Homo-oligomer: A and B are copies of this chain.
Amino acid sequence: MALVVQKFGGSSVADTDKIKNVARKALREKERGNQVVMVVSAMGKTTDGLINLAHQISDDPPAREMDMLMSTGEQVTIALLAIALQSMGHKAISFTGPQVGIITDAVHRKAHIKRINVKKIKESLDIGSIVIVAGFQGCTEDNDITTLGRGGSDTTAVALAAALKADVCDIYTDVDGIYTTDPHICSNARKLEKISYDEMLELASLGAKVLINRSVELAKNWNVEIQVRSSFNDNPGTLVKKEDKSMEDVVVSGVAYNRNEAKISIVGVPDRPGIAAEVFGRISDSHIVVDMIIQNVGYNSRNDISFTVSKEDFAATLKIAETLCKELGAEKVISDEKIAKVSVVGVGMKTHCGVAAKMFRALAENGINIEMISTSEIKISCVIRESDLDKAVQAIHNGLIINAEPGI
């Protein structure tokens, strides 16, 4: 008998028919002889509706009361799901985050889980009930309701799976797994059978939006196996798990991309210690996250500093860069919003060489110019023209995944 945690997001429980569908999924798992804990989000656009109500009253509603408000969304879903399961003749019981003892810190709207008291869940599982827990929420030691921020229901599911020592944590979503790249761009994209936590972290931060980084980090820390799978069919999904020997044979697991970046260069910066600290300190003071950074020492002891930020932060960052340019006595600021980033990810890179060269060749053969390059142990990213993006993803995917020679 396995213990399975199943998580269903808002689109999987958007109406009462979908809730019944999700109930049947849990029943099938139960009928296989397993114990089932379900974690669910608020129905469809419920949370947006609640936020809208609050904003009709205040532009800046207090975080504690927003948590009080938003946590009702998941509470509605768990009750309806328990009603659905019981109407199908099965024992089921719902619990809110606070009821189930999900204790968090007091940072409202993005609280972190401190511990979970699984006694109530275990008692209910022991008498044969399917246990339904509201995702995204918990409470402080003082019994104030908190919410866990973006992707909070995934976090609840992974944390519960860890606390319960579950055999697997199934994250149901509207795709049936993690793909080697976006199937909308490459029709020959393949579903991955498994992927390591680190690869998943790189893919998520590169714009593959299936799992939020925080849940993957939690899963990695607690060694919880996540299965990403579709709520609309029963196909096996993709296992996100600890890196194993077999994964190293696959040099490149996925090709990711991000259209949401813009590039800023401060050209001709005097080359003296502390300049980079000054530049990026000032940007981070404005709570702007910088992605890629490249610094070239050029002629006449002058530097070019280039970096990318998300398109939303572009205007604000440009302003800071112009100010810095004057203060530092640099030549000028060059900016470019028409860029995109394409990346290859794979734990196999740690033991195989030549991946970067192969990626650059794939781009060159298709006449695509590389504007910036950045690498990590398991990732290589290139900034290119936005208009070249689809072609670049296809070229790299074909060259490094579809037609990959084993071990390169």
Contacts and interface: CB of A to CB of B under 8 A. Distances in A.
A34 to B, nearest CB: 23
Interface stretch (A61-69, A208-216, A305-313, A340-348): A61-69
Contact of A56 (B16, B57, B66, B143): B16
Interface stretch (A25-33, A71-79, A315-323): A71-79
B62 A82 contact: yes
A229 interface: no
A58 B86 contact: yes
Interface in A75-101: 75-76, 78-80, 82-84, 86-87, 93-94, 96, 99
A53 interface: yes
Chain copies in the assembled complex: 2
Contacts of A143: 99
A69 B62 contact: no
Contacts of A84: 57-58
B57 A19 contact: yes
Given A87-B57, A87-B58, A87-B61, A79 B66 contact: yes
A115 B190 CA distance: 61
A54 interface: yes
A86 B72 contact: no
Interface in A139-186: 143-145
A72 B83 CA distance: 16
For chain A, which range describes its interface: under 10, 10 to 19, 20 to 34, or 35 or more residues?
A: 35 or more
Contacts of A144: 99
Contacts of A71: 75
Contacts of A65: 79-80, 82-83, 86, 94
Contacts of A69: 75-76, 79-80, 83
A24 to B, nearest CB: 12
A60 B89 CA distance: 12
Contacts of A60: 87
Nearest to A70: B79
A83 B99 contact: no
Contact of A72 (B56, B62, B75): B75
Given A57-B84, A68-B75, A69-B80, 12 more contacts: A16-B53, A16-B56, A16-B57, A54-B79, A54-B83, A65-B80, A65-B94, A66-B79, A72-B75, A96-B145, A99-B143, A99-B145
**Top 4 nearest A-B pairs by Cβ distance?**
A69-B79, A58-B87, A72-B72, A68-B79
